Amino acid sequence: MIITVTMNPAIDKTADLAHFEHGGLNRLSGVIMDAGGKGINVSKTIRELGGETIATGFIGGSGGVLIEKALSELGIQADFVVIKNEVRTNLKVVESNGLVTELNEPGPVIHKEELDELTEKLINYAKEDTLFVFAGSIPNGVDTSIYKTLIKKVKEKGAKVFLDADGELFINAIEVKPDIIKPNRHEIEKYFKMDYRADEKELLDMGNKLLDKGIHMVTISLGQMGALFLTKEQKLKCPGLKVEAHSTVGAGDAMVAALAYGLDQGLDLEKCVKLSMAASAGAVTTKGTKPPKRELVDELMERVKVIQL
């Protein structure tokens, strides 16, 4: 079973704009509203691929009601902690040239009793056949060591963990050896305190250093250039797929979702890699934070090239 943990969910509003006028009037069109937050996006993609998840985390207010309703309509099981405050709303503006500007709110203040309730919920779900996906930012009132704390607790019960976070959340959580991580190029460069753009060899070296820390799999996303997938046994490289893109919003979440789904289904690494690359490419063709259709993912999988390094 896959449990996605979204501590800072959102109502995602995505809008089209011909050209952003800084300091001026901007008239939006094609406004779409979705239930969002990285873990929720992962659950939506896994559902579209044919898998099942339980989506958990924090929800509150009218936005929380909308998120639960949206997940129910998609057939996704939800088990959130209901908080006193309202969830955030994020605005993503997509210009005609493909440039995306994101205006993300910080999220609600979380109280200790609400955090304790979520912690207990996750511990109860943790079993040897459980894969947790901890993804995205955290709301106000939560310490940046929270993923480290929660990962340690669920791993003590035999569960596996997929981490997709950045900054202090990533740095702290690495200490407790999540099983799978997905930093992008910028995040891994920042972790290793590099002040220049790393080449492929340097990225591989950094990935291997993370494997040496006890992490089972390191995926380094490279945007339109593709991704690197590293385990102790295999080092794979996939060039990016050329597709008609609407925006890159949600591409990383789709990659995480497909990898988690493939691993949960017991697929071999190469099949997981092809599925994740196809799902990620498919996600950039959709509007809002909607997942790519399974038919499109299957079609794109035929075009994925896997290079053994």
Task: Encode 255-264: b = buried (16+ Cβ within 10 Å), e = exposed.
Answer: bbbbbbbbbb
Q: Using CA atoms, how far apart are residues 156 and 305, in angstroms rounded to an integer?
A: 37
Active site residue 205: no
Among 36, 37, 42, 33, smallest CA distance to 255 is for 42
Reading the block at residue 101, the tokens are 């500007």
Reading the block at residue 248, the tokens are 């890159």
Contacts of 60 (CB under 8 A, 6+ apart): 82, 83, 84, 85, 86, 87, 108
Out of 116, 253, 268, 298, pick the active-site residue: 253
Cβ atoms within 10 Å of 174's Cβ, excluding its own:
21
3-state secondary structure 170-226: HHHHHCCCCCEECCEHHHHHHHCCCCCCCCHHHHHHHHHHHHHCCCCEEEEECHHHE
Helix (H, G, I), strand (E, B) or coil at 243: coil
> Which residues are identified as catalytic?
253
